Structure 1
Amino acid sequence: MPIKFGTSGWRGIIADDFTFENVRLASAGIAYYLKEIGARSIIVGYDTRFMSEDFAKTSASVVAAYGIEVYFSQYDIPTPVVAFEILDKNADGGINITASHNDYMYNGLKFSNKTGGPALPEETKRIEEITNQIKENKEKIQITNFDEAVSKGLIHIFDKTNYFDNLRKMVDFEKIREKRLRVVYEPFFGTGRRFLPPLIQDITDFEMIHGVRDPLFGKLHPEPIEENLKPLQEAVLKKQANIGISTDGDADRFGFIDSDGSFVPPNIILSIIYHYLLDVRKLKGNVVRTISTTTLLDRIAHAHGFEAIVTPVGFKYIGEALFEKKAIFGGEESGGASLQGWLQEKDGILIDTLVLEIISHYGKSLRQLMNNLFERYGTVHNKRIDFSFSKELQSKLMGLLKEYIIQNKELLAVTNINELDGLQITLEDQSTILFRLSGTEPKMRIYLEAYSEEKLNKLSHFAIQILNKAGGLSEN
């Protein structure tokens, strides 16, 4: 099976397609690419998954054998910290062994460019071409002994980072200190467990659950979405905490539980943050969001005289807009966000601490802040539905959907079709349905937006009806 980079790197099932052989192949492809562009050094990190450190050592040993200087993390490290180290060490890129929020049986290899952000499509396409050439030519991949490479100075092991000091410049921790919030943190046994606590444990009434390394993630799915945050919800209610915060396995995504135990969706969190940046910090600028993310951000931007830049799904597009200073803030509904002047990579630790600053400033719960937004900008309700599908159906599913929708456009009351990424239809009442194949998992995702809960429920049934008539799938 050829190595393919999806929305956020190459991922596969451990011992099936994610093997040492394929890690060596992918790493050789990256090494050749780095040499093509005149690169000299790279960061290599890894998460808490099964054998991630061993895969990372293999990757580092290959890259070093091709003459690229390697900075190797002594411990498991969050994706945003890998991004930070690329910038801080003036490296030419980064390799991170992580499958982010995927289930425990997966692992992955993520390549970042010298900006610290995810590699752009043209970069990963070239790496794929090189790996295919290596495989077709049956070329012997160079690899050095890891310990020997360390002793020769080809690989440098680092155990300290300036990430903490620099993050403290982005968030007002004094505001958090003054309120002494009761906070519960869920790192899902992942990399965030070593990085978020030092920032807030001494200035809040702090508790962490699942704060040990577990490659099986305690049988939890390590994605901070509502159905996976039941333990955090219970801990918040038991502690009578002001807020529950979470990050996924590699700490680039965020998730929140309010003081009443309710889940607050990323779309609302993104809107609260952008409003705060404009209204309290008095920043001026656009917002950038993916096509699957709420248009509430658009309303906030327009009300302040700014625009919402809409991109395909993938944080690389948001990071690029932030880097080019086209926007002051950007995010996606899957729980990723960053600020201009920070990283071109999503950072769950940044967002978790920034939200603590926000609720400290207002002295309100997240639910109260959401209601304030709705009063000012109008209500909006979003939902995502995931469906599993066969590999055979994957190749033809979007074609079937497009054909069905075009043929029945008037009957379905479709006023617009947007193919920026997937297939998004706008209905007469301005509600939207986006059908999109996941770039990280074998799933079809349906993203819904409506202006009332009642309409959202009807829209959900309507979207499933369209999907069934067009192709047919079983809900996951």
Structure 2
Amino acid sequence: MKRARIRARRVEPAVRRASARIHFGTSGWRGILGEDVDFPRLRVLVRAVADWVREGSSGDRILIGFDGRFASEEMAICAARVLVDEGLRPELATRISPTPAITHALAHRRCAAGLVLTASHNPPAYHGMKVFGPRGAPIPDPDARRIEELAGLRLGDDGPPSSERLGRRLDFRPSHERAIAALLDRDAFRDFPLTVVFDAMHGAAAGSIDSILPETGARVRTLRSSIDPRFGGTAPDPNADNLSLLASEVGKTKGLVVGLATDGDGDRFGVVDGRGRWLTETQVVALLVDHLAGRGLLRRGIAISAATGSLVEKVARDHGLSVTRHPIGFKWLSAAIGTGRADAAGEESGGFAYAPIGPDKDGVLAGCLIADRVVHSGEPLEDQVETLEARFGPSACGRAALRATVESARAFEELERDPPDRFGRARVVGVDGQWGLRLDLSDGGFVMWRRSGTEPLVRVYAEAGDARALVRRLQLALRFLQGRARSR
């Protein structure tokens, strides 16, 4: 305790004043550490969260977690001290914890809210704070706007807290790991020896999958398992470009093998099959839905995002499950779980949730369930993907991004005002402008543009019949933003 207080004093600046208003993006407050995110603004935001909690009726206990980024623990300690000042009861993690461990604890305890100091999959220069409601779901937009409003009223109240107390210190990881382990079929792991190569990407989930799966008898080899605030110099996003090391290691491993990865705070997944091939998020979510439904663990339905590929929907409906589509941002999918409309949810950017564990995305859970699926069938994951796509049709899905500029903003606005009738060789058969701009195409695929809520980017999503067609589709979508496609 004494060491933690000393560290907090050393890092917290008292002189800089919070002046700019705080804004929540798709997933909480986020920005460049030392510019958009700093201690004065953090103190303002936490005091606003305290005001918001007092307006509600869920009690006064707030859970606090943190990842391994620069100053994360110091920021968490600062938040706890502010909450004590505000008369609330913080419960602070004893160690770096994946975000899903905090949301799992919220889902199974009586709390008013949860705070996690993290910037998730963003580059190392970023930091921020996620805010969760009493049951572990990201707060909905009206609550985010209310906290922003309260923060605006608190802008001058950015000084260091007077309290030296932090509240209780708790380890949230073991109960989360036990809950996931209880879902796994230990007999199947014994019947089919599996090697798992786990790439923690220097993130908060290091020590999670590689703690859970060895207990089943699986052999687990780890990559990038040390905590590194610089994440080895790359963004801790488990996409194909960032998992070449994992793909190489899996490809060199003999026998039944799968590669798993998690992002900076452990809520997103990445999966590599036994041939060293990165699987798209749509393929992974389809495999997970098929696996859980086949085990009789899904009954109510599935919630997916507007940019998730059609394979998930086809698999779910084949199991007699209802499917609902929602705006991009996992908070919308968490809401569907929270209201009982869905047992599970998945999205295009590596998020998957299963209601009994928690309503928010969980990369640790997704990875462990993929391993469970492999041993359940005893077949290599690549064969299972081929079987699924042979039955329901191929689905090549992907995403790209372009830095937001004045020119790309104008091009996007023109697209929204006047969507094209054709996109490449396909006719546009449907236009949806609810959550960005989505064009449904005559070949069964789609293309979608959307402004990022966390970074200065315009994101592009697409589905096509094969990988080459997907690359062409994404490239064409980017050219539309660069103003070059319409003249062709």
Going from structure 1 to structure 2, the CA distance change for 1:397 and 1:10 (only over 3 Å counts) comes to farther
Matched, 1:156 2:174: no
Going from structure 1 to structure 2, the CA distance change for 1:87 and 1:260 (only over 3 Å counts) comes to same
Match of 2:415 among 401, 412, 427: 401
Q: Secondary structure at the match of 1:109?
A: strand
Going from structure 1 to structure 2, the CA distance change for 1:3 and 1:393 (only over 3 Å counts) comes to farther
Shift of 1:134: 1.6
In 1, the alpha carbon distance for the partners of 2:227 and 2:317 equals: 44
Shift of 1:374: 1.2
Shift of 1:215: 0.7
In 2, the alpha carbon distance for the partners of 1:69 and 1:282 equals: 36
Counterpart AA for 1:226: A
1:280-303: per-residue Cα shift (whole Å, max 9, x none)?
Answer: 436434211000111111212333
Match of 1:187 among 185, 197, 200: 200
Shift of 1:205: 1.6
1:427-452: per-residue Cα shift (whole Å, max 9, x none)?
Answer: 23332110011112111111111223
Matched, 1:322 2:326: no
Q: Contact (CA 8 Å) 1:401, 1:471: kept in 2 or not?
A: no
Gaps of 5+ in 1: none
Partner of 1:143: 161
In 2, the alpha carbon distance for the partners of 1:222 and 1:240 equals: 27
Give the TM-score of the pair, scaled to structure 2.
0.89
Counterpart AA for 2:27: S
RMSD: 2.1
Counterpart AA for 2:181: R
Shift of 1:265: 1.3
Going from structure 1 to structure 2, the CA distance change for 1:126 and 1:395 (only over 3 Å counts) comes to farther
Q: Contact (CA 8 Å) 1:182, 1:243: kept in 2 or not?
A: yes
Counterpart AA for 1:143: P
Partner of 1:342: 357
Shift of 1:139: 4.0
Partner of 1:169: 182
Partner of 1:102: 122
Counterpart AA for 1:16: E
Going from structure 1 to structure 2, the CA distance change for 1:379 and 1:184 (only over 3 Å counts) comes to same
Shift of 1:414: 2.3
In 1, the alpha carbon distance for the partners of 2:31 and 2:338 equals: 30
Give the TM-score of the pair, scaled to structure 1.
0.91
1:314-339: per-residue Cα shift (whole Å, max 9, x none)?
Answer: 11111111222212221011111011
Moved more, 47-56 or 335-344: 335-344
Match of 1:29 among 48, 58, 67: 48
Q: Contact (CA 8 Å) 2:48, 2:150: kept in 1 or not?
A: yes
Shift of 1:397: 5.2
In 2, the alpha carbon distance for the partners of 1:295 and 1:467 equals: 25
Gaps of 5+ in 2: 1-19
In 1, the alpha carbon distance for the partners of 2:336 and 2:400 equals: 28
Counterpart AA for 1:167: I
Matched, 1:310 2:325: yes
Counterpart AA for 1:365: P
Shift of 1:393: 5.3
Partner of 1:420: 434
In 1, the alpha carbon distance for the partners of 2:63 and 2:190 equals: 34
Partner of 1:296: 311
Q: Contact (CA 8 Å) 2:137, 2:338: kept in 1 or not?
A: no
Moved more, 117-126 or 34-43: 34-43
Identical-residue share of aligned pairs (%): 27
Going from structure 1 to structure 2, the CA distance change for 1:214 and 1:452 (only over 3 Å counts) comes to closer
Matched, 1:253 2:273: no
Q: Secondary structure at the match of 2:252?
A: helix
Going from structure 1 to structure 2, the CA distance change for 1:27 and 1:53 (only over 3 Å counts) comes to same
Q: Contact (CA 8 Å) 2:180, 2:368: kept in 1 or not?
A: no
Partner of 2:225: 211
Q: How does 1:3-402 map to 2 (within 5 A)?
A: 3-38=22-57, 39-135=59-155, 138-139=156-157, 143-145=161-163, 148-150=164-166, 155-159=167-171, 161-202=174-215, 203-240=217-254, 242-281=257-296, 283-390=298-405, 392=406, 396=410, 398-402=412-416
1:324-380: per-residue Cα shift (whole Å, max 9, x none)?
Answer: 221222101111101132201111111111111100011122221111111211122
1:236-279: per-residue Cα shift (whole Å, max 9, x none)?
Answer: 23333601111111110110111111111111010011112223
Counterpart AA for 2:87: G
In 2, the alpha carbon distance for the partners of 1:291 and 1:140 equals: 39
Counterpart AA for 1:375: A
Q: Secondary structure at the match of 1:319?
A: helix
Shift of 1:398: 3.5
Partner of 1:460: 474
Moved more, 247-256 or 166-175: 166-175
Shift of 1:173: 3.7
Shift of 1:140: 5.9
Counterpart AA for 2:305: T
Q: How does 1:428-443 map to 2 (within 5 A)?
A: 428-443=442-457
Q: Contact (CA 8 Å) 1:28, 1:141: kept in 2 or not?
A: no
In 2, the alpha carbon distance for the partners of 1:15 and 1:394 equals: 28
Q: Secondary structure at the match of 1:102?
A: coil
In 2, the alpha carbon distance for the partners of 1:71 and 1:352 equals: 28
Q: Secondary structure at the match of 2:238?
A: coil
Q: Contact (CA 8 Å) 1:264, 1:366: kept in 2 or not?
A: no
Q: Secondary structure at the match of 2:205?
A: helix
In 2, the alpha carbon distance for the partners of 1:264 and 1:321 equals: 26
Going from structure 1 to structure 2, the CA distance change for 1:218 and 1:139 (only over 3 Å counts) comes to closer
Moved more, 167-176 or 18-27: 167-176
In 2, the alpha carbon distance for the partners of 1:397 and 1:33 equals: 39
Counterpart AA for 1:425: L
